[in-house]
Amino acid sequence: MVPYSNFLTNREIIRLVSIFVKKFEFNKVRLTGGEPFARKNIIELIEELTILKNEYQFELSVTTNGLLINGNFKNLKGHGLDRINFSLDSLNPKRYELITGKNQLHNVLDAIVDAENAGFSNIKINTVIIKNVNDDEIDDFIDYSNKTGRNIRFIEYMPFSNNGYDKVGFISSQELMTKISQYYELIPNNKNEESVAMDYRIKDSKALISFISPISDHFCGLCNRLRITAEGKLKLCLFSPNKTELELKDMLRNDYSDERIAESIIKALVEKDYAHPNIEELIKLKNNNIISVGG
Ligand code: SF4
């Protein structure tokens, strides 16, 4: 069990975010996990980030499985959270339980409705389709999007050191699009050029479907994302090797000034690769545990 002292405190997270929004003009901050609401003082963290947001305009969002929010959506909205995305890989209660170990699909679906009722809009549902696991639910997800108007984003299955990756399960976005196009007409619907997603609407329906292709058609050349792990490591890329990680927590706890930390980040950025390694190399990686790195 990782001692709690290994994790960044709220104050340390606020300081790091303030360096990125002040010195590097970052305009989006996303809290992810594992599960961000598993963090004890997450509501206080969102409150404090909102104070910073009033000074430096940035969008504050979370990606969650929706199970630990306990109806706090109005509160979160009131505290300044801008957006919520949900991770949901099955609409079948039995399969959901198989994938997550929890018989709580209905709680997630209710949480999505509660989030909308609390005023969160443009909610996206992130779904990883894996062959022979949930690829028979594509129609159900399209039907769900048609009934609710919520955007389903099919994200390609990626190897992480703790997800038991089996490349047999991989389906590329192109394969998925071809499969879907046999039954539905996909109409391009890209509104946000910065987005890594290819957005479509389904003809004669309310369904909004997107495809995110980090493996088959990576968008690394456009990548402007950096991740800070819960233990305060700066990851230049989801798949960056240990040696390029920056120990931000140690700098904070050794009284480095904001300027000195910013200089270290700039030096580290030259190490950011133009593209992630190929799938064979990715599968060999040992340090990209999705729970600590975050999607
Ligand atoms: S560089 Fe890394 S983080 Fe950025 S898009 Fe590529 S794989 Fe993702």
Regarding the beta carbon of 261 and ligand 1, being less than 6 Å apart is answered: no
Mean per-residue pLDDT for 226-236?
Answer: 94
Q: What is the atom index within ligand 1 of the atom nearest the CA of 227?
A: 3
- What is the C-alpha to C-alpha distance for residues 103 and 26, in angstroms, rounded to an integer? 38
Give DSSP secondary structure letters for 19-64: HHHHHS---EEEE-SS-GGGSTTHHHHHHHHHHHHHHS--EEEEEE
| Closest atom of ligand 1 to CA, residue 240 | 2
Ligand 1 atom 3: residue of nearest CA: 237
The predicted-structure confidence for 4-13, as pLDDT tens digits, reads as follows 889 999 999 9
Position in ligand 1 atom list of the atom nearest CA 222: 5
* Distance from Cα 276 to the centre of ligand 1, integer Å: 6
pLDDT category, 20, cuts 50, 70, 90?
A: very high
Q: What is the distance in angstroms between the CA of the first residue and the CA of the last residue of the chain?
A: 22
Cross-sheet strand order for the sheet of 186-188: 28-31, 59-64, 83-87, 124-128, 151-155, 208-212, 198-202, 186-188
| Ligand 1 atom 5 nearest Cα | 220
Q: Whose CA is nearest to atom 7 of ligand 1?
A: 276
Beta carbon of 223 within 6 Å of any ligand 1 atom = yes
Q: How far, in Å, from the CA of 224 to the mean position of ligand 1?
A: 8
Is the CB of 220 within 6 Å of ligand 1?
A: yes
Note the pLDDT tens digit of each residue in 117-152: 999 999 999 999 999 999 999 999 999 999 999 999
CA distances in angstroms from 154 to 151, 169, 173, 256, listed in the order given: 10, 14, 8, 41
Q: Which residue has the higher pLDDT, 1 or 257?
A: 257
Q: Compute the residue count for the chain.
A: 295
174 in Cβ contact with 193 (< 8 Å): no
Mutation probe of ligand 1 site: the residue of 237, 285, 288 with most atoms within 8 A of C-beta:
237
What would the pLDDT profile of 187-201 be if each residue is shown by its tens digit?
Answer: 998 766 667 899 999
Structure token digits, residue 31: 């809290």
206: pLDDT confidence band, cut at 50, 70 and 90?
very high
Kindly give the interhelix angle for 93-100 and 105-117, rounded to the nearest 10 degrees.
Answer: 100
> What's the whole-model pTM score?
0.92
Give the chain's domains with CATH numbers: 4-287 (3.20.20.70)
Residue 170 has pLDDT above 70, yes or no: yes
User: What tokens appear for 84 in the block?
Assistant: 């919520």
Name the E strands within the chain.
28-31, 59-64, 83-87, 124-128, 151-155, 186-188, 198-202, 208-212, 227-228, 233-235, 246-247
What distance in Å separates the CA atoms of residue 268 and residue 289, rounded to the nearest whole number? Answer: 21
Identify which of 106, 103, 62 has the alpha carbon closest to the alpha carbon of residue 85: 62
Which pLDDT does position 295 carry in this prediction?
61
Q: What is the CA radius of gyration of the chain?
A: 19
214 CB near ligand 1 (under 6 Å) = yes
